[in-house]
Amino acid sequence: MKVCLLNDSFPPVIDGVVNVLMNYADYMMKDYKAEIMVGTPEYPGTDYSVYPYPVVAYPSFDTTSVTNGYRAGNPLAGKAVSELVDFMPDIIHSHCPSSATVVARLLREQTGAPIVFTYHTKYDIDIRRAVKLDLIAREGIKAMVSNIEACDDIWVVSRGAGESLKALGFEGRYIVMNNGVDFARGRVDAETVAEVTKDYDLPAGVPMFLFVGRMMTYKGLPIILNAMKILADRGMDFRMVFIGKGPDKELLEDRARELGLMGGSTANKCIFTGPVYDRDVLRAWNTRADLFLFPSTFDTNGLVVREAAACGLASVLIRDSCAAEGITDGQNGFLIDENAESMAALLMQAGKDLDHLHEVGQHAMDEIYLSWQECVAEAYERYRFVLAEKKIGMMPHHKKQKTDRLVSLAAHGMESQDRLRKFGHELMGDFRESAVGMMENIQESADRSEQFWNSIWREMRVGMENKAVRVQEDVREIRRDIKRAAQGLTKMIDGSSDE
């Protein structure tokens, strides 16, 4: 099976969706021998040849200042789309509803391959954050939903994500397809944990809480800081470790200082490590922690919760949030209301019995951990189902969009442009072949001419040499005749004298 994976981000940018795409590519190649091609906006200076599959990087615009480090791709880059078309994918899978899905629609128009789309996160929040004018933000969200509805098979990463999508106006059908975890199941050995955490003040027996992810206030991080303030005021000793980076990191650090949780004369109760990219180091941090705090109602799935579970670490989550799906309070995780007081009350109680926290963490490992290999196996089977539906003509038609005609015109324009480009290449190729042929003929004629004149010269030289030999022989013969005549004359003279 040929699979074209499209996303608006790819290394050097690392985020949860990039992690999903790369695991799809790796496991589909390894377990199913699928042929993979990735399409993504270009990040200047990036070497895309290092990946085990071709990466088509199409032109992009620098929008990093307003989109937290992301570039915006140009989906109308004909040459790049042509390269994706030449791959002739069986399945097109878009992981972002903006330029990646426009490329997917152009690609479907020219190849007929169905589009699978995965709704990973609440993109509307990022749109509202980047675009300050409400009217423009609303139109951007409408365009996003329209792009999603134009796809053939819609996946969401949780039931809550699907409901969030419907709340934005989406009217199609969707199915829940979970994402997996690339952490191995099991806790890291004590020696490795000690080595990773040795530079931080983490006293034994003191509860350590952990957050891993982008430093964004809308992930509920102010709830964590305010809860830590309540714990400190009540005299509880603890350490709260934040791992990650993001546009709100400095703001959160300043807030922690204001609350007296770091930078004072006493030990820092809050620690910001910055980003950690080494997966084994992250596993060690998850093993060292006693609870993972994730009070986010923004995230549609929360891979970090399952990563924590892989290491036997239970999470504290907001009741009825997407990340809390599959969590039973007190069994394989903990549920709270969306406020600092609720979190603080739970942590005060939980901190008295760390052994119980570790038991709940073990249940999380056993019950909610899901490997990428399992998830990709399910995705691959869904691909096969979609292709079977298409083959027998049973695939539900995607909802018609106002932009369908524009996409069709653009695709046919690109197709014509591509044919012209290829014709030009063929013409130049033919011209080069003709020119090479002419040069070869000229060279051959020159060679034959050289051979002809060389043979004439050789014949002339041989003829001249032969003539010279004959002349020499004639001269020698004349000399002999003169000598004989002279000798005869001498004898005649000598004979006359004797008489």
Mapped onto helix, strand or coil, the DSSP state of residue 204 is coil
Residue of 104, 109, 79 lying closest to 8 (CA atoms):
104
Residue at 481 is within a domain:
no
Distance between CA atoms of residues 343 and 315, nearest Å: 12
Distance between CA atoms of residues 95 and 104, nearest Å: 10
369, 389, 411 — which closes off a domain? Answer: 369
User: How far does the chain reach from its first CA to its final CA, in angstroms?
Assistant: 129
Residues 238 and 336 in one domain: yes
Residue at 214 is within a domain:
yes
Residues 416 and 356 in one domain: no
DSSP states along 255-319? HHHHTTSSSSSS--SEEEEE----HHHHHHHHHH-SEEEE--SS-SS-HHHHHHHHTT--EEEET
Residues 162 and 103 in one domain: yes
Residue at 490 is within a domain:
no
Residues 280 and 138 in one domain: no
* Structural domain span for residue 217: 190-369
Q: What is the pTM of this model?
A: 0.74
Distance between CA atoms of residues 253 and 271, nearest Å: 9
Q: Which amino acid is at 259?
A: L
Residues 246 and 330 in one domain: yes
Residues 362 and 386 in one domain: no
Query: What CATH number is attached to the domain comprising 11?
Result: 3.40.50.2000
Residue at 480 is within a domain:
no
**Residue found under tokens 């799935």:** 301
pLDDT at residue 208, rounded to an integer: 96
Residues 430 and 384 in one domain: no
Residue at 499 is within a domain:
no
Residues 449 and 396 in one domain: no
Residues 350 and 418 in one domain: no
The per-residue pLDDT string of the chain (499 residues; one tens digit each, 9 = 90 and over) reads 999 999 998 998 878 889 899 999 999 999 999 999 999 999 899 999 999 999 999 988 888 776 667 788 888 887 888 999 999 999 999 999 988 999 999 999 999 999 999 998 776 666 666 665 677 777 878 888 999 999 999 999 988 888 888 988 898 899 999 889 888 899 999 999 999 999 999 999 999 999 999 899 989 999 999 999 999 999 999 999 999 988 899 999 999 999 999 986 667 899 999 999 899 999 999 999 999 999 998 887 778 999 999 999 999 999 999 889 889 999 999 999 999 999 999 999 998 899 999 999 999 999 999 899 999 999 999 999 999 999 988 877 677 777 777 777 776 776 666 566 655 555 555 556 655 666 666 666 666 666 766 766 666 666 666 666 666 776 677 677 677 777 776 777 666 555 4
Residue at 488 is within a domain:
no
Phi-psi sector, 209: left (phi>0), alpha (psi -120 to 50), beta: beta
Residues 350 and 365 in one domain: yes
CA torsion sign for 472, 474, 475, 477 is: positive
Instruction: Say how many domains are in the chain.
Output: 3
Residues 142 and 65 in one domain: yes
Q: Which amino acid is at 208?
A: M
DSSP states along 85-119? HHH--SEEEESSTTHHHHHHHHHHHHH---EEEEE
Residues 98 and 146 in one domain: yes
**Residue found under tokens 């004797």:** 498
Across 47-74, b (16+ Cβ under 10 Å) vs e yields ebeeeebebbbbebeeeeeebbebbbbb
